[in-house]
C-alpha cells in the first residue's frame, strides 16, 4: 500500500498549474480578440472620417447586431471599449499575456501614457491580481511616489531598468491602510494597529512596496541590562537592508525619532552583515510635523523616513487636496 502522500500533493500541483495556464491562455486569446475587433472598428471609421457622427452610429449598429447573439459582453459600451483598447494599444505584440482583459479595462481609465506604463510594469513584475491593481490605482500609487521622486526614476525602477538606491524610491508617504479595518473615529492603541497589520500582512507588504519580507514582531533588544521592543522588522531584498517599522498612533515627536534612530543604530552595529546596506527606519504615524522631522535628523539623512498613514482610501478631491498640502510643505521646507 502506498503511504507517501507527497505524490498526491505533486500531482495536485501539476493539475492546478495546468488549469491556471489554461485560464491565462484563454483570457489572453479573448483580449486579442477584443483588440482585433477594435482594430476593425477603427479601420471602418477611418473610411468615413469626414462624418462626425459615424463612430457613434457604428458602435451602436455593431452592438445591436452582436449583443442578441453574444450577450452583454458586446453592448454598445463594451464595443466602444474595444475601439478605445486598440487606439490606446495600437501594436498587438506589445500586449502582455500576463494581463487580463479586466486589468486592461482598468488601465484604459488612466489619463497618461506614463501612468499606464508604470502600472503595467508593476502589475507584471509583482503579478498583481485585478483587485490589487485596482486598489493601487485608486490609492494613487503613481502620484504618491512622484511626490518624492522624479518621473524618470519612478518609471525606471518599475521597469527594472535600475535598482532603487534610496528608500524614498519605493516607500510611500502617505500610506493607505484601509484594509486594516480600523475606524478613524474609534480609539485604538499601537498594539491594536500592530495586531491588525499582522492579520493583514499580505496587504501591508503590498502597500509597503516592492521587495519586502517580514522578519519579526516585537523584536526584543538587550542593551546593557535594559530591554526594548521593536514593533516590526522587515527586510528589503532590492535595497538589501533591514527595515524597522515603529507605529505611532499619535502625532510624531522628536523623542520618537530618537528612539527609532537608536534601533537603526543597533541593527547597523549588531545585525547587519558587511555586504548589506545600512538599516532603514520607518515611523508610521497618524500625524507629523515635517519641520520637526527635518530639524531632528541630519541634513544628509537617508536612514529615517516618517510616513503618515490613512485608514481610508481618498476620494479624488481629497487626493488633490493632499497633493496641494504636500507641495506647500515642500515649498515651506
The 10s digit of each residue's pLDDT in 238-280 is 999 999 999 999 888 889 899 999 999 999 999 999 999 999 9
What are the contacts of 67-73 at 24+ separation with CB within 8 A?
none
- DSSP for 137-153, please give it: HHTTHHHHHHTSS-HHH
**CA 110/CA 31 separation, integer angstroms:** 18
Residue 22 has a pLDDT of: 86
Residue 252 has a pLDDT of: 85
CB 281 within 8 A of CB 236: no
Parts of the chain belonging to CATH 3.40.1350.10: 168-313
Radius of gyration of the chain (CA): 25
Residue 143 has a pLDDT of: 86
Q: Which residues of the chain have pLDDT under 70?
A: 1-5, 49-50, 52, 184-186, 298, 316, 319-320, 322-333
**CA 87/CA 36 separation, integer angstroms:** 11
CA distances (Å), origin 100, targets 29, 34, 131, 133, 150: 10, 12, 12, 11, 29
All three cell numbers of 249, joined, read 498612533
Helix or strand run (H / E) with residue 267: helix 254-270
Instruction: Please state which architecture CATH assigns to domain 168-313.
Output: 3-Layer(aba) Sandwich (3.40)
Amino acid at each position: 500500500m502506498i503511504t507517501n502522500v507527497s505524490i498526491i500533493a505533486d500531482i495536485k500541483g501539476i493539475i492546478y498549474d495546468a488549469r491556471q495556464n489554461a485560464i491565462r491562455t484563454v483570457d489572453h486569446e479573448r483580449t486579442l480578440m477584443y483588440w482585433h475587433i477594435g482594430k476593425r472598428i477603427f479601420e471602418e471609421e477611418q473610411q468615413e472620417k469626414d462624418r462626425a457622427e459615424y463612430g457613434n452610429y457604428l458602435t451602436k449598429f455593431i452592438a445591436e447586431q452582436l449583443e442578441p447573439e453574444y450577450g452583454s459582453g458586446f453592448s454598445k459600451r463594451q464595443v466602444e471599449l474595444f475601439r478605445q483598447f486598440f487606439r490606446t494599444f495600437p501594436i498587438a505584440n506589445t500586449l502582455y499575456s500576463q494581463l487580463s482583459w479586466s486589468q486592461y479595462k482598468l488601465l484604459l481609465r488612466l489619463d497618461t501614457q506614463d501612468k499606464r506604463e508604470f502600472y503595467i510594469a508593476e502589475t507584471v513584475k509583482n503579478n498583481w491580481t485585478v483587485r490589487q491593481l485596482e486598489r493601487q490605482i485608486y490609492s494613487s500609487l503613481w502620484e504618491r511616489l512622484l511626490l518624492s521622486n522624479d518621473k524618470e526614476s519612478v518609471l525606471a525602477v518599475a521597469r527594472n531598468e535600475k535598482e532603487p538606491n534610496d528608500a524614498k524610491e519605493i516607500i510611500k508617504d502617505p500610506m493607505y491602510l484601509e484594509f486594516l479595518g480600523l475606524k478613524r473615529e474609534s480609539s485604538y492603541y499601537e498594539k491594536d494597529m500592530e495586531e491588525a497589520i499582522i492579520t493583514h500582512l499580505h496587504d501591508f507588504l503590498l502597500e509597503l512596496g516592492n521587495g519586502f519580507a517580514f522578519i519579526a514582531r516585537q523584536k526584543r533588544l538587550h542593551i546593557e541590562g535594559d530591554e526594548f521592543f521593536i514593533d516590526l522588522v522587515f527586510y528589503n531584498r532590492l535595497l538589501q537592508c533591514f527595515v524597522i517599522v515603529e507605529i505611532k498612533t499619535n502625532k510624531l515627536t522628536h523623542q520618537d525619532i530618537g528612539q527609532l534612530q537608536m534601533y537603526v543604530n543597533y541593527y547597523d552595529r549588531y545585525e547587519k552583515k558587511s555586504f548589506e546596506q545600512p538599516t532603514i527606519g520607518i515611523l508610521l504615524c497618524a500625524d507629523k510635523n515635517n519641520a520637526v522631522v527635518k530639524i531632528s535628523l541630519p541634513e544628509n539623512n537617508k536612514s529615517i523616513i516618517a510616513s503618515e498613514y490613512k485608514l481610508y482610501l481618498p476620494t479624488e478631491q481629497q487626493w488633490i487636496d493632499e497633493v496641494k498640502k504636500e507641495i506647500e510643505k515642500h515649498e515651506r521646507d
